[in-house]
Amino acid sequence: MATKTLIAAEAVRLAAFHGIDQLRAALTGPLKGQIALVSSFGAEAAVLLHLVAEIDAHTPIIFLDTLKLFPETLAYRDALARHLGLTNIQTISPQNLSDPDNNLWQTDPDACCFARKVVPLDAALAPYAGWINGRKRYQSASRAAVPTAEVDGAHLKLTPLAHWTARNIADHMAAHNLPAHPLTAQGYASIGCAPCTAPSTPENPRAGRWAGQAKTECGIHATAKAST
């Protein structure tokens, strides 16, 4: 496993890059084979998955099935994997889930996200030195200053598309003939778990996530944890 010193050094080095340049520098650099991409296979996921596939189609792709996803998302995962030639998709699900009435998303959405997303993802990332995520600064006020590279707990965390705009995403999708998530045609600009996702506008894509609540994030992108 990579040392804390190496992870910190890579965070500094890779902060100078973004987009496919950052991905190439990370996936072929000192941490080669130790970095996974975490993908929701949501509305914009095809772009980052395409860029990674251009570099190494066997890069580990961690897909978190919360057991509350739209069936369209599960079908899109399979279709997009075939389209891009991805060969290392690892689907993980919550284990020992305590939700006997299957309504935790209503009674305590933070606890639901923690059990269905944060806990299983932490376990899935344990073997890796770093991970790649698809946040963009334009998506919401809470994401307006996300760094392109950081140390998050014991991991290097990369956000190569932080600077990209909705237009950049749309242009890349069109230029490379990438299939869209089927729900985008129904007005879903950001797609998560079915009970907690509603249609929204491209100008405010995450307004449809936990609509009507103060909640804006699931917890996997909480403020970077101190290195341990």
Burial code (b: 16+ CB inside 10 Å, e: under 16) for 62-77 equals bbbbbebbbebbeebb
| Terminal C-alpha separation, the chain | 14
The catalytic position among 112, 113, 196, 218 is 218
Give the domain ranges of the chain. 4-208
Residue 218 annotated among the catalytic residues of the structure: yes
Hey, is 36 helix, strand or coil?
A: strand
Fold exhibited by the domain 4-208: Rossmann fold (3.40.50)
User: CA 88 to CA 91: how far, in whole Å?
Assistant: 10
Burial code (b: 16+ CB inside 10 Å, e: under 16) for 89-126 equals beebebeebebeeeebbeeebeebbbbbbbbbbeebbe
Each of the 228 residues of the chain gets a pLDDT tens digit; together they read 799 999 999 999 999 999 999 999 999 999 999 999 999 999 999 999 999 999 999 999 999 999 999 999 999 999 999 999 999 999 999 998 888 778 898 888 888 889 999 999 999 999 999 999 999 998 888 889 999 999 999 999 999 999 999 999 999 999 999 999 999 999 998 899 999 888 887 767 777 786 777 777 776 787 544 333
DSSP annotation of 118: I
Looking at the DSSP bridge assignments, the partners of residue 3 are: none
